[in-house]
Structure 1
């Protein structure tokens, strides 16, 4: 795989001459946050981080995400955090979009460039820093870890370029998934994968399932079926899909359509309070 090129938000503001019409959609079944609304005025500072700003794409809130939070994070040169996570019960995935991120995870140092992927288990010791001269942008997915007796998720760092996509059955490579953890490993209660469609590739049925999704589009464009609607999406857009929201996809080309996909998995449906 050649050096990847993913979309990362750059902020800024539209001019006063531009129309406000955009593709932002919020419904009970799904939400689309297009890249055009990720502007400077909607960023947040993160406690414990320096020279950093974040666009919060999803958070647990009534009528929206219930299992996870997801951010687009930009760290300026000299910025970072010695204590990125305040909640010991929260696990994370960090996926680098651009720049170079210095990660120290459980005592091991890593330089993560575009395509770099780190799984940070709940309670892990880690730090992040930008020691370069250019900003670094990454996706950060956070979820409360649900422990399971006899299993323990452990930290690892890899790259998109180093994990072979698995073709979906009977698709002749038009639809493939890059799986960073074994889907049968019950130590993991969330998967953050990359889904790739070649031009013209489709999800040929309306998926309707219990897993909640967060989708950040890394490359390309497509028409996505969300509940009753067909919605155009492109690199830099974010989609949230509630559990059981019907979903399908048609990749429009001219290049591959790729997105980072969160879903909650591998746990019994909880019917009582903890």
Structure 2
């Protein structure tokens, strides 16, 4: 990037164990074994306080993984933001494009390959699966184009898309939440679940631990457990973000 032409500054805010806003301008490339010709930025991790790991990855034309991602008790999820990638699980290939996604259960791993003519951009996730006796999650391959967009908490100006089946075998889910300009959460949420959210579109102001923070497309937010949170959509277009949520399990002691 060369010499700076202004004072060094950042919109990022890091509160270890509580919340984080990570602006894209400060992301660096992390060398991760098994990822070839990919620009990998690790967003949330246990070093921040999260129980999962989120990545934003730009795969070059020859970008791919060279060993399985996940498995051995680790569940994984990949969402294609733009481009076209091939996801291989148990020697079966699945092609996903913008809006497509794959959930891989903890007993399997996935391999990724960019098959787009140019770069592809993906949001990647991994977490240690919390087993539940008598229940096993399964491979899910789909697209947001195939899932209904529903009113969120009976509000017609806030929409939600659920990614995974409503089945107790899954200990997490992914969603896309969309706020029309001027729309907001119905109340300030305070809950045991944590989230990792990547902003896909628009602008907003987010309340994180009672601090109002401007956010916009390509920002990443990590919300720790019990952190008060809510947002308003502002600007001329809808505010949308993809986010994870742990669910369907009691608290371990």
Same fold (TM over 0.5): yes
Q: Deviations over 1:30-82 (max 9, x none)?
A: 111012212xxx21122122112210001112xx3331000001211122124
Match of 1:57 among 39, 43, 46: 43
Match of 2:189 among 204, 207, 225: 207
- How well do the aligned residues superpose, as a CA RMSD in angstroms? 1.6
TM-score (norm 1): 0.87
Counterpart mapping for 1:214-225 below 5 A: 214-225=196-207
DSSP-derived class of the 2:227 partner: coil
Q: Deviations over 1:181-231 (max 9, x none)?
A: 234x11111111111111111013110000011111011110001112000
Q: Deviations over 1:4-47 (max 9, x none)?
A: xxxxxxxxx37511332221111242111012212xxx211221
Q: Which residue of 2 aligns with 1:194?
A: 176
242-251 or 121-130, which moves further after superposition? 121-130
Q: Is the 8 A contact 1:83 1:127 kept in 2?
A: yes
Q: Is the 8 A contact 2:140 2:164 kept in 1?
A: no
Structure number with the higher strand fraction is 2
Q: 1:214 to 1:14 in 2, by over 3 A?
A: farther
Match of 2:75 among 91, 104, 108: 91
C-alpha displacement at 1:93, in angstroms?
Answer: 0.9
Q: 1:164 to 1:267 in 2, by over 3 A?
A: same
Match of 2:164 among 181, 185, 206: 181
CA distance in 1, matches of 2:2, 2:158: 35
Unpaired segments of 5 or more residues in structure 2? none
Match of 1:162 among 123, 146, 149: 146
Match of 1:239 among 213, 221, 228: 221
Q: 1:14 to 1:213 in 2, by over 3 A?
A: farther
Q: Which residue of 2 aligns with 1:106?
A: 90
CA distance in 2, matches of 1:232, 1:212: 20
TM-score (norm 2): 0.94
CA distance in 2, matches of 1:84, 1:260: 24
Unpaired segments of 5 or more residues in structure 1? 1-12
Q: Which residue of 2 aligns with 1:248?
A: 230
C-alpha displacement at 1:104, in angstroms?
Answer: 1.7
1:48 paired to 2:34: yes
Q: Is the 8 A contact 1:46 1:52 kept in 2?
A: no
Q: Is the 8 A contact 1:204 1:249 kept in 2?
A: no
Aligned residues: 252
